[in-house]
């Protein structure tokens, strides 16, 4: 069981790799999951929920490898209230320095109807599964899913059963973002006061943001006695997302005068992991997002600018350095060397090896030849380019696009498909449409385009464009990304990146699911 000798210490339970990844299109590759887990461990997160081991062989392998590699954090896997789920979860986490099994069942009337269990039958299931988990692992967390819509008497009853069966952490999920701060605090407070044995366990809160109150509800739960917050980087998660780690951590840090609780998170590493999660998930951070948004420390109003210049505290309640924003934003240029680029990457939170630096430096020089100045955001975008998924059987070799006011656009695309060069020409309603049609001629597919999104990385007509493309095929959802000063090229490369990821997803759910290398032709 996690030690809680300091009653003012709040444990940070990060579920970016489990609940966050469930957000449609946010699926990460195996290597990306391991990288994010390492960053979470390094920044001081107490518990990392690494995945849902029984969901797939890929999820099991990711949780198992994260468990073996963890240095400090408790590594947790999720399991339904079923014995095979719990056994599989234990197999995945058991090699961690500090493993945890997290098992759950939906306890509200709506959720009880799904397995068609009576209250007594569900109570018996909870006793059986928590006991089984506790016999395997001495650190067991239990969650009554949709707790905030569960009848009070029944919630109190099943929490007591879970505690008696050996759960050391009781998590109270607001699964659909239904509660409000006063109610959130009162629910935790009443459970601690009225459930026998509640003073011997840690209560946790898991809030969703459907009504925009996830952070407020989580902090209110802490005021009510919870000592673990479940959250994700950038608030990533299903529907409107989860409680954002950066928001609760910085709220506790900035308003320590009225919230006397502390965390173990090194806040200076927040921006680096925020950027990385945005990259690998394909979910860009909104400009006005609290703490990590592009505009969080920007001031355009004349009154604001004047105040900040005279005294930064007039309009800033936290320093950019507190969340890892570098104060040195001097741009690089085509004469900048490898050492300058490496130093800039380090300032931005990217630790790169010699081989990766060599690759990034080549792309940096190509960009610097097209742009007079390369800013911090350009360098961050560079880290997204050239990062292929586990399969990269599709590559764009060259493109030629004709467009204008007269007639349809025409795109000629040359691609390398499983090592063979193929060329196609297509007309379309604009250069991007024509390019996508040419790619589909080369790589026939039934994937539906769910999202096409373009963001300018910096200002100016020579700014890089970052493009996100989300595809859906037979229930599989993937997101591809790319960046280039040519928006059409970035769009085409993002589309191909998504097709490559789709091929990997097909391979993992179909024949040959254990292969790391897959042929696009074979899967088409």
Which residue reads 């056994």 in tokens?
87
Separation CA 253–CA 264 (nearest Å) = 11
Separation CA 455–CA 490 (nearest Å) = 11
242 is in an annotated binding site: yes
Let me know if 405 is exposed, middle or buried by CB neighbors in 10 A (0-12, 13-18, 19+).
Answer: exposed
CB 273 within 8 A of CB 285: no
- Kindly state the tokens that stand for 265: 């998170």
Terminal Cα-to-Cα distance of the chain (whole angstroms): 49
Residues linked to residue 14 through DSSP beta bridges, in sequence order: 48, 231
Sign of CA dihedral 48, 499, 455, 348: positive
208 is in an annotated binding site: yes
Separation CA 46–CA 367 (nearest Å) = 40
Separation CA 179–CA 332 (nearest Å) = 48
Separation CA 522–CA 494 (nearest Å) = 22
- Kindly state the tokens that stand for 386: 């050239």
Separation CA 297–CA 216 (nearest Å) = 22
Strands 47-51 and 394-402 turn out to be: unpaired
199 is in an annotated binding site: no
Which residue reads 């979470």 in tokens?
40
Separation CA 130–CA 474 (nearest Å) = 35
Separation CA 69–CA 104 (nearest Å) = 26
Separation CA 272–CA 10 (nearest Å) = 22
CB 140 within 8 A of CB 101: yes
Contacts of 65 (CB under 8 A, 6+ apart): 30, 34
Which residue reads 């990288």 in tokens?
35
234 is in an annotated binding site: no
Q: Which residues are annotated as a binding site?
A: 19, 206, 208, 242
Q: Which residues are annotated as a binding site for Mn(2+)?
A: 19, 206, 208, 242
């Amino acid at each position: 069981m996690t030690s809680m000798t300091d009653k003012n210490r709040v444990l940070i339970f990060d579920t970016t790799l489990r609940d966050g990844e469930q957000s449609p299109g946010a699926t990460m590759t195996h290597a990306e999951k391991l990288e994010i887990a390492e960053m979470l461990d390094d920044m001081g997160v107490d518990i990392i929920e690494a995945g849902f081991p029984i969901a797939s062989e890929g999820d099991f392998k990711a949780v198992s490898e994260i468990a073996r590699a963890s240095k400090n954090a408790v590594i947790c896997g999720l399991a339904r209230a079923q014995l095979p789920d719990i056994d599989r979860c234990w197999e995945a986490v058991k090699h961690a320095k500090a493993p945890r099994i997290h098992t759950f069942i939906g306890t509200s009337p709506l959720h009880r109807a799904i397995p068609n269990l009576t209250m007594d039958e569900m109570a018996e299931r909870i006793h059986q599964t928590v006991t089984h988990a506790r016999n395997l692992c001495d650190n067991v967390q239990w969650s009554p899913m949709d707790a905030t819509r569960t009848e009070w008497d029944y919630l109190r009853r099943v929490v007591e059963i879970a505690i008696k069966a050996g759960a050391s952490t009781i998590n109270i999920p607001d699964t659909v973002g239904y509660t409000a701060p006063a109610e959130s605090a009162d629910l935790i407070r009443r459970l601690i006061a009225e459930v026998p044995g509640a003073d011997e366990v840690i209560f946790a809160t898991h809030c969703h943001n459907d009504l925009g109150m996830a952070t407020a509800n989580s902090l209110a739960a802490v005021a009510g006695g919870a000592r673990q917050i479940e959250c994700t980087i950038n608030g990533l998660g299903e529907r409107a997302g989860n409680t954002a780690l950066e928001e609760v951590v910085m709220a506790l840090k900035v308003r320590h005068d009225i919230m006397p609780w502390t965390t173990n998170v090194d806040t200076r590493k927040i921006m680096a992991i925020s950027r990385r999660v945005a990259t690998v998930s394909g979910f860009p951070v909104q400009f006005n997002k609290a703490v990590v948004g592009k505009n969080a420390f920007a001031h355009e109003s004349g009154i604001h600018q004047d105040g900040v210049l005279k005294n930064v505290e007039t309009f800033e309640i936290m320093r950019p350095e507190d969340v890892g924003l570098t104060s040195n934003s001097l741009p690089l240029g085509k004469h900048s060397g490898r050492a300058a680029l490496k130093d800039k990457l380090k300032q931005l939170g990217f630790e790169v090896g010699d081989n990766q630096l060599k690759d990034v430096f080549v792309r940096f020089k190509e960009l610097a030849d097209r742009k007079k100045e390369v800013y911090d955001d350009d360098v961050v975008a560079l880290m997204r380019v050239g990062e292929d998924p586990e399969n990269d059987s599709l590559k764009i070799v060259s493109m030629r696009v004709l467009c204008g006011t007269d007639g349809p656009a025409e795109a000629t695309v040359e691609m390398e498909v499983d090592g063979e060069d193929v060329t196609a020409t297509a007309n379309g309603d604009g250069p991007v449409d024509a390019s996508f049609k040419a790619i589909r001629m080369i790589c026939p597919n039934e994937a539906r385009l769910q999202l096409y999104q373009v963001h300018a990385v910096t200002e100016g007509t020579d700014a890089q464009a970052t493009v996100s493309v989300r595809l859906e095929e037979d229930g599989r959802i993937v997101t591809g990304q790319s960046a280039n000063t040519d928006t059409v090229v970035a769009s085409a490369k993002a589309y191909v990146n998504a097709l490559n990821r789709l091929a990997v997803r097909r391979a993992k759910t179909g024949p040959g699911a254990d292969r790391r290398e897959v042929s696009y032709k074979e899967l088409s």
